[in-house]
Chains A and B, each alone.
Chain A
Amino acid sequence: MNLAYRVGSDQASGAPRLPGSLHVNRRLSQWLRIGADGVVEVSVGKVEIGQGIATALAQIAAQELDVAFERVRMIPASTARSPDEAVTSGSLSIQESGSALRYACAEARSIYLAAAAAKLGVPVELLRIADGEIIAASGARTSYWQIADDGLLARNATGTVAPKPAAALDVASAAAPRLDLPDKIFGRPRFVHDLELPGMLHARVLRPVSPFARLESLDAGRTQALAGVIGVVRDGNFAGVLADREETAVKALARLAADTRWSEAETLPDAAGLKDWLMAQRAETKVVDERAPDAQACVAKTLRASYSRPYLAHASIAPSCALAQWRGDALHVWTHSQGIYNLRTDLALAFGVPPQRITVEHAEGAGCYGHNGADDVAFDAALLARAANGRPVRLQWSRADELAWSPFGAAMAIELQADLDAAGAIVGWRHELWSNGHTSRPGRAKSPALLAAWHRENPSERLLAVNPPLANGGGADRNAVPPYEFAARRIVNHRLLDMPLRTSALRSLGAFANVFAIESFLDEIAAEQGEDTVKLRLRYLSDPRAKAVIEAASARAGWRGWQRREGCGHGIGYARYKNSGAYCAVAAEVEAGREIRVRRLVIAVDAGRVVNPDGVANQIEGGAVQAASWTLKEAVRFDRTRVTSDAWETYPILRFSAVPAVEVEILDRPEEASSGAGEAALGPTAAAIGNAVFDALGVRVRDLPITAERIVAAAG
C-alpha cells in the first residue's frame, strides 16, 4: 500500500482525508479545466524552479485523463486562482502536488465518462478514452472537448476514484522532453526578468554596506538631478532608485551609493575559527533522538571526531528579480518565489493591507536551491513601487546583492563519537551539532520575514532561523539520525540564538553536513579496524533498498577491482534523504594534484516510482555537481564587519573543466511511493569525495571545503 496516496478520514473535520494537497484544495476546478478547444489546463500551486516539475505534473495529468501530453497546458501559479500548496521545497512536489493531481484527474475522467455515457446512452463500462475521444464499443463516440463544461468540475473532490495502478502507466514513466526548454534554448522571454509591462520603470536597491550597518546620511540631490531618474526612496536603512531606463537606474544607484554615509561595527564571527565559534554560542539544546542499549554493552574504546561546513551561498546564476505595481491600496507582484501564498501573507503584514488586496503571480526565475532572494526582492520592488504613481516597477538585484544578501545556508559544527566493544562492533553512537536554524521562510510568523523589513525606519523583529520538526524532515538535524543499526545512539541539536548572518533553507538543509560527517566517520572507523568501508556499511544496514543502492553504486564503479594508483583514491557515501525519502549511494574517484580533481561520480538512486526518469537523472546529476562544488570550493567569506564574497571572483564555483563525469543508475520501484530526487545526492557526494581524498592521500579533511590549504592544515 502506497502511504502517500492512502485515502482515510480526517478525525478533526470529519471530511475524508484526501491525497497530497487535494486535502486542503478540494475543488476539482482549482486543479484542471477541460476546454472545448482540445486543451487541458492544469493549475497547481507548486512552481517551476528549474527542476522540471511542470513537465512531470503534465505527464501525470495526461496519463490519468488519457490525453496526449501535448494537450496539457500548465498555467502559471497565482494567488488569484491556484490551489494553495504553500512552498515548493523539500523535494515534496511530486508527493504533494502529484498525488493531488493524480486523484483530481482520475475523478475528472470519471465525471466526464459519466457525462459521455448519458449523452451516448451507453453504460460507462462500454466506453474507452483515447486522447480525449470517448468511444463506445458500438463505435458511437464523443469527446472531452464536445462535452467540455466548466460546471462539471465545479465540485469538491471525493477521493473515491482510484488513479491508474502502476502497471498501467506508460506516459508517466517514460522520459518526456521538458516543456520549458524550447523557450530557453531559443532565447524567448520566459523568466520573470523578461517581463515587460506598459509604462514600466526600472529600479535598483541600495543595500547596507554590512549586515547591521546604519545609514547615517543620504544626499539624494545629485542622484535626483540625473536625467531619467524618477525618484529616490529612503525608509530608514533601506533605499533605492527609480528610473525610466535600466541603465539609468544602474548609474543612479552608483551615484547614490557614493553620496551616503554608513556607520558599522564588528558584528561577524572570526571566519578562521568558525567551528569553535559555533560551539561557543548561546543555544537552545534539544535531544533529537535517543535509543538506549538493550543490555549494557562493554565499551572497549571510544572514537571521536568533529566536522564542519561553512556558510554557503545559493549563488543563483541570475540575480533575484521582481515586478510590482500598486493601484490604490491594491498590490500586484510578479515573482519567482517558491511560495506565492506565503509571500502574500508577509507582504500583507508588512504593508498592513488585507491579503485579498494583494495578488502574487509566479514567473520563472533561474535555478532555485532553497529560500533565496526571491521573496526579498519582491518586497523591495513593492516598497519602491509606492513612489511610482501607479506605474509598474521592475527591480533586479545586483550580483553583489545576490551573493551577499540572499539568505545563506547555515554554517555547522558536528561532533561524533562511536563506542566500540572489544570485538570492534559499534555499540554506541553520539552526534552533536551546532548551527543556526535552517529556515526563515516567509508566511510563518507574526512579523514579515522579508529582508527590507529589518532595514526600514520602523523595523520588524529580526526573526531567528528555526528548524522544521524532524517528523517533517528536520532542519539542522536532517539526516543526523544515522541509518545504521547501532545498539545505542543519542542525537543532540544546539540551535544558535544569535544570528550574525541570516540563514535559511539551502538544498538538503542540515543533511549535507550531517551525511558528510556520519559517512566520513564511518570511513574513519573502517580504516581504524582495517575493514572494507562498503562491507562495514552493509553490515549495519537492514533495509534491503539501502543495501541495493550501495551495492549498485559500488558494483558499477568497480569498487572491488579498484587498482591503486599514486595520488588517486576512491570513496563511498550513502544516505536515505530525510531518512524517509530517496535512497542514494555515491562512489567518487579523485585525483590529488595541486588541487583535488574529482574524476568520476557513480550514483545509484532509488526514488520509488519514477515519473520522468530523465528528469530524475538530471536532478541527481545536477545535485551531485553542485555538491562537488560546495565540497571542493565554496565558503561565504567575511571579515569581522562585512561579507566579502560578493562577486564570482570571491565566491568561486566549479567550472566546466573541473566538473566530474557523472553516471546515474536509477533503481525503479513502480510499487513504491515516489519521492523527490533533487536533494538526495548532496550529502553522499560530499562524503564520497572526502573519503576518496583520504584514500588518495591518507589525509582526513573534516572541515569543508576540501581545498589545498585545508589538506595541508589537516596533514600538519
Chain B
Amino acid sequence: MLLNVNGAQHAVEAAEDTPLVYALRNQLGLKGTRYGCGTDQCGACYILLDDRAVPACDTPLWAAAGKRITTVEGLGTPERPHALQRAFIVEQAAQCGYCSSGILVTCAALLARNPDPSDVEVRAALDRHLCRCGTHNRIVRAVLRAARELRSGQAA
C-alpha cells in the first residue's frame, strides 16, 4: 500500500485495516505520533489527513491511502520549525511532552482555518486532547503566540 506522508510516497507492507498509528511508528519510524488510548479518546496520536486533524489510532490504512498525511515531524524541524513549535519552546509549553505531538497537529489545522483564534476558541479546538501534566494554560499561550507571529509574518 502506498502512503503519502509528509510530502513523500512510502510503500507500506501491512493489512489494510491496520491502524495508521502502527504503520507510521513501526514501518516508517515516525515515532512522533504517540499512542495513548487507541480509541480516539485522548488526542495523543493526531495527524493531518489532507487538512483535517484525525486520530491515527482510529484511521485504518485504507482510509489514509491517497490522502496527504502530515505528522508532527512534517510540521517542521529544529532548523525550520513551525511557528507553533517555536512558540511551544519559547513558552516551555510541556512537562512530559507526551501529549504535545497531537496538540501541535490539531493547532496547525486550527491556525490554517482560523489565523486569529481567541483563547476560548483554542481551548474548544483542544477539548479532545488530554494533558495529564496540567500544562494547558502554557499550551494555549503558545498557540496564541504562534498565531500572532504567523499573522505578523504574513502582514510583513
Contacts and interface: CB of A to CB of B under 8 A. Distances in A.
Task: Classify the secondary structure of B's interface with A.
Answer: loop
Contacts of B156: none
A461 B73 CA distance: 47
Contacts of B94: 178, 181, 184-185
A396 to B, nearest CB: 7
Contacts of B25: 194, 246
Nearest to A228: B15
A50 B133 contact: yes
A659 B31 contact: no
Given A184-B94, A317-B98, A622 B127 contact: no
B36 A319 contact: yes
A665 interface: no
Contact of B134 (A188, A250, A366, A623): A623
B133 to A, nearest CB: 4
Nearest to A246: B22
Contacts of A182: 78, 89
A82 B25 CA distance: 30
Interface stretch (A87-95, A492-500, A551-559, A647-655): A647-655
A538 B73 CA distance: 53
Contacts of A368: 96
Contact of B77 (A186, A315, A624): A186
A290 B74 CA distance: 62
A399 to B, nearest CB: 4
Nearest to B44: A317
A58 to B, nearest CB: 15
B73 A367 contact: no
Interface stretch (B48-56, B99-107, B109-117, B147-155): B99-107
B76 A186 contact: yes
B31 A49 contact: no
A647 B42 CA distance: 10
B37 A247 contact: no
A467 B78 CA distance: 46
- Range class of the A interface residue count: 35 or more
Interface in B113-145: 120, 122-124, 126-127, 129-140
A298 B97 CA distance: 57
Nearest to B57: A399
B98 to A, nearest CB: 4
B85 A399 contact: no
Nearest to B76: A186
A631 to B, nearest CB: 13
Contacts of B36: 317-319, 399
A309 B37 CA distance: 26
The residue in A49, A193, A315, A366 that gathers the most chain B C-beta atoms within 10 A of its C-beta is A366
Contacts of B14: 245, 247
B26 A367 contact: no
B92 A177 contact: yes
A187 B72 contact: yes
Interface string A633-650: 000000000000001110
A181 B92 contact: yes
A187 B134 contact: no
B29 to A, nearest CB: 8
Contacts of A245: 14, 22, 26
Contacts of A365: 96
A187 B41 contact: no
A627 B111 CA distance: 31
B9 interface: no
Contacts of A486: none
A317 B99 contact: yes
A365 B39 CA distance: 20
A45 interface: no
6 contacts: A184-B98, A185-B94, A187-B31, A193-B35, A618-B95, A621-B134
Interface of B: 14-15, 18-19, 22, 25-26, 29-39, 41-42, 44, 71-73, 76-78, 81, 85, 88-89, 92, 94-101, 104, 120, 122-124, 126-127, 129-140
